[in-house]
A = this chain, B = another copy of it.
Amino acid sequence: MSITAVRGTFLDFVDDPWRHPGREEESARFFADGLLVLDDGIIVAFGDHSDVAADYPDAEVTELRDRIIVPGFIDGHIHVPQTRVLGAYGEQLLPWLQKWVFPEELRYADRDYAREGTRRFFDYLLASGTTTCQAFSSSSPVATEEFFEEAARRKMRVISGLTGIDRNAPEEFLNTPEEFYADSTALIERYHGVGRNLYAITPRFAFGASDELLEACKRLKDEHPELWVHTHISENPSEIRGVLALHDDCDDYLGVYEKFGLVGPRFTGGHAVWLNDDEMRRLSEAGASVTFCPVSNLFLGSGLFRLGKATDPAQRLRMTFGTDMGGGNRFSMLNVLEDAYKVGMLNNTLLDGSVDPRQQDLAEAERNKLSVYRAFWSITLGGAEGLYLDDRIGNFEVGKEADFVALDWKAGPPALAWHQSLIADGGAPATLDDAANLLFGIMMVGDERSVDETWVLGERAYTKG
C-alpha cells in the first residue's frame, strides 16, 4: 500500500448542470487548496487540504501550483486508425470515407504500422488531456490488439472493439459476419475486463452492415450482455437514405439497431445529428447514449446536433462528447467544447423565433447555451455517465480511479493571458466562479496548450514542459 497525494486547486462535478438552470454552480465542487489522496491510483480521500491532510501525515504529496486540476477528459467517439489523415479535404461523409479513410485504415492490418499509429494516438490523447476514450479500431484484429496492448501499457480506462463492416467499402477492407464473430469472440476473451480494458461490439454503421453482420452482433450481445456496443447513427442525410435503402424493412435508422436487439444501456450511437423526435425518445427510454461530435459535424458539414432537444428533461438523452478524430480535425476535447458552444449558439438563434416565429422554443434555445459548467461536466462526469463508467471515473469521488488534468489557464495563443488576467486580478482562482471563468477562457480562447500535466491512475503520464 502506498499512499500518495496531490495538492492544488481542484474543480469537479457532482451533478448535471442542466438540472440546475440558473444555479449551475450547485452542480460543481471547488477547492482552492485541496488535497486528493490516492492509494495505488484509487481515490481514498478528497477535500479541502485543511480537512484532509491531518489524516494522511505520511502521504507523499505532490503540489501542483498555479493550475486548475480537473478530472481527465473523456472522448466518447474517436478513430485510432485515422490519426494520420485527420482534416482531409473537401467531402461529405460517404465520399470522404472512400477517398481518405479506408486506404489509411487498411494500413493497420500491418502490425508495425498499427503499433506506431497507436502509440502516436495515445501520445496525442494524453497531450490533449484525454484519459479515457471509446475508440474505433479498424476491421483488422491486429489493430484492435495493438490498441488494447498500448492502452494496457498506459494503464488507461478505454473501450474499443473490432470494427465490423461488410458493405459499401473496398473489398480488402471488409470482414464477413463469420470472421467478425470469431475474431470478436477471441478479442473479448483476451481483453475484456483485463486491467482497465473494456470491449465494445462495434458494427461500424448500418450503412456498412448486412443483416447477417448485425445478426452476428446480436449473437455477441446475447452471449456477452455486459459488453458495450459502439456504432454510428444518423450523421449525414445521404448516409441515412443509404441505410434505409439497404435496410428497407426499417422505418428509421435507429430501427435497424433495434431490430437486432443492440439498443440499451452501454449502446452509443455517434453523431445522431438527424434523428427524428421519436428516435430520440426511444433512445432515451432505452437508456442508450449518443455522442455529440461537433468538430466533425462541422468539418464534414454533417449538420447541427440538437443539443437542446437531447437535454430536454422530459426525455433526457445520455450523451458523451467526442472528437470523432479524423472526421474531426482536432484531437483536443477543448476544441470540441469550442465547436459545441458554436453549434449551440447557432441553434439558439434558430430557436429564439427571430428568424421563423413558428420555430420558437425558448426553453430549448436556452438549453443550447453551453455554459462552462455544462461544457466541462459533459467531458468529465457527464461523459462517464454517458458511457456507464461513472462508477469508476468522471470526478473525484472516493473509490474512483484517479485520472486528472492540470490546466494552466495562461498557456495558449498569444491573446489568452491578458484575457485571463481580467479574472481574479491575474492570480490563482479563489472561488468556483473565478475558476469557471478561467476554464471558459481556456475553452474559447485557448486550446490543448493549457494541458500542463495529465495523470493516469495516480501517476504522471504526460508533462508538457
Contact = CB atoms under 8 A, between A and B. Distances in A.
A346 B444 contact: no
A90 interface: yes
Nearest to A344: B301
Contacts of A102: none
A415 interface: yes
A301 B346 contact: yes
A343 to B, nearest CB: 8
A332 B445 CA distance: 11
Copies of this chain present in the complex amount to 2
A199 B272 CA distance: 49
A446 to B, nearest CB: 9
Interface string A333-353: 000001101101111110010
A345 B84 contact: no
Contacts of A419: 84-87
Contacts of A241: 354
A300 B448 CA distance: 23
Nearest to A298: B342
A445 B329 contact: yes
Interface string A67-78: 000000000000
Q: Kindly state the interface size class of chain A when it binds its partner.
A: 35 or more
Interface string A87-114: 1011010000000000000000000000
Interface in A102-148: 120, 123-124, 127-128
A302 B331 CA distance: 26
Given A355-B237, A445-B86, A342 B414 contact: no
B301 A345 contact: yes
A286 to B, nearest CB: 27
A236 interface: yes
A128 B414 CA distance: 8
B440 A89 contact: yes
A349 B301 contact: yes
Given A84-B418, A354-B241, A422-B85, A448 B349 contact: no
A418 B83 CA distance: 9
B300 A414 contact: no
A348 B237 CA distance: 12
Given A85-B419, A237-B355, A445-B330, A300 B413 contact: no
Nearest to A87: B444
A447 interface: yes
A62 interface: no
Q: Of residues A300, A349, A447, which shows the largest number of chain B Cβ atoms within 10 Å of its Cβ?
A: A349
Given A329-B444, A346-B303, A89 B415 contact: no
B349 A414 contact: no
Contacts of A271: none
A441 interface: yes
A92 B371 CA distance: 14
B414 A124 contact: yes
A445 B335 CA distance: 11
Q: Which 10 A-B pairs rank lowest in CB-CB distance, beginning with the nearest?
A: A301-B345, A87-B444, A298-B342, A237-B354, A301-B349, A87-B445, A124-B414, A127-B414, A329-B444, A238-B354
Interface of A: 83-87, 89-90, 92, 120, 123-124, 127-128, 236-238, 241, 298-304, 325, 329-332, 338-339, 341-342, 344-349, 352, 354-355, 369, 371-372, 413-415, 418-419, 422, 440-441, 444-445, 447-448
Given A127-B414, A237-B354, A330-B413, 20 more contacts: A83-B418, A84-B418, A85-B419, A86-B445, A87-B419, A87-B441, A120-B415, A124-B413, A128-B413, A298-B345, A298-B346, A299-B342, A301-B346, A301-B348, A303-B349, A325-B415, A329-B444, A329-B445, A413-B448, A414-B448
